[in-house]
Structure 1
Amino acid sequence: MNRRDFLNLTTTITLAAPLGATRLRAGTLEYRPGMVSRALLSGRTVLVDFHASWCATCQAQGRILDTLRAGHPAYDHKIDFIVADWDRHRIGDMTDALGVERRGTLIALTKKGEIGRLVGVTQTSQIKDLLDRALSASI
């Protein structure tokens, strides 16, 4: 392989890697089937973030969640943050069971049920309120 081919290949890989990839925040789990149920059955409080990497609302929610979590470590100690990639999981048992109709949906859950839900919300105060309610409901 000559230098030009190598540079073209590495540029292509570098540019293509972010496409379709959801950036997971530190301490955030990537959704896999069954993980929400397992976390709830074990007594954990869960925040499910139905996120698409190309969605401006989802990106704004992610920045707000990052800021709130950085300023309040108790959120990460008491809540399991799970990101469900909308492009891969918009059709599935969990999405159907929770009645999720669009990306940009944040749902807080305990084994007793849903604590709250925000759809397309990017106001820090409303997202903080959801996290505070989830924190209060955690063990």
Structure 2
Amino acid sequence: MPAVRAVTDDDFEETVRGTGRPVLVDFWAPWCGPCRAMGPILDALAQAHEGMIDIVKVNLDESPRAAERHGVSSIPALLLFSGGEVVTRLVGAKPRTMIESALADHL
């Protein structure tokens, strides 16, 4: 089963620019209840779209620079990167169907 993997400020740029696939980045924090609620949804999406998209998580407490560079001021925040550029931004806890709709044009 594909896993949602953690990335840090140190490997963020390489992660979002280093693949030919879209990358969905979950900006979160362990103290954020809605962020934790998104975990199972993102795990299911990673499994359902294996090989088509990479899904990664950035813990804001440990890696704040990536969030600052991309204007993340509220969490959870999902940013979809394609070709290294942000193409979709979802802020707040969202249902799986809404996330899948946002991904549809980029898979």
TM-score band by shorter chain is 0.7 to 0.9
* Counterpart residue number, 1:27: 3
Cα distance, 1:115–1:52 mapped onto 2, change above 3 Å = same
Give secondary structure in 2 for the equivalent of 1:130. helix
Greater C-alpha radius of gyration:
1
Equivalents in 1 of 2:45, 2:57: separation in Å?
A: 16
- Residues 19-40 of structure 1: per-residue CA shift (max 9 Å, x gap): xxxxxx9522211234332231
- Number of equivalenced pairs: 106
Structure number with higher relative contact order (C-alpha < 8 Å, ≥ 6 residues apart): 2
* Counterpart residue number, 1:53: 30
TM-score (norm. length: structure 2): 0.80
- Identity over aligned pairs, percent: 28
Q: Write 1 or 2 for the structure with the bigger share of helix.
A: 1
TM-score (norm. length: structure 1): 0.64
* TM-align CA RMSD: 2.2
Equivalents in 2 of 1:57, 1:133: separation in Å?
A: 26
Which aligned runs of 4 or more in structure 1 are off by greater than 4 angstroms?
Answer: none
Q: Are the aligned partners of 1:47 and 1:108 in contact in 2 as well (CA < 8 Å)?
A: yes
Shift of 1:97: 2.0
- Residues 59-117 of structure 1: per-residue CA shift (max 9 Å, x gap): 221122223334x2xx2212121110121123x1x212211112200100012521211
Out of 68, 76, 81, the position equivalent to 1:109 is 81
Structure 1 regions of 5+ residues with no counterpart?
A: 1-24
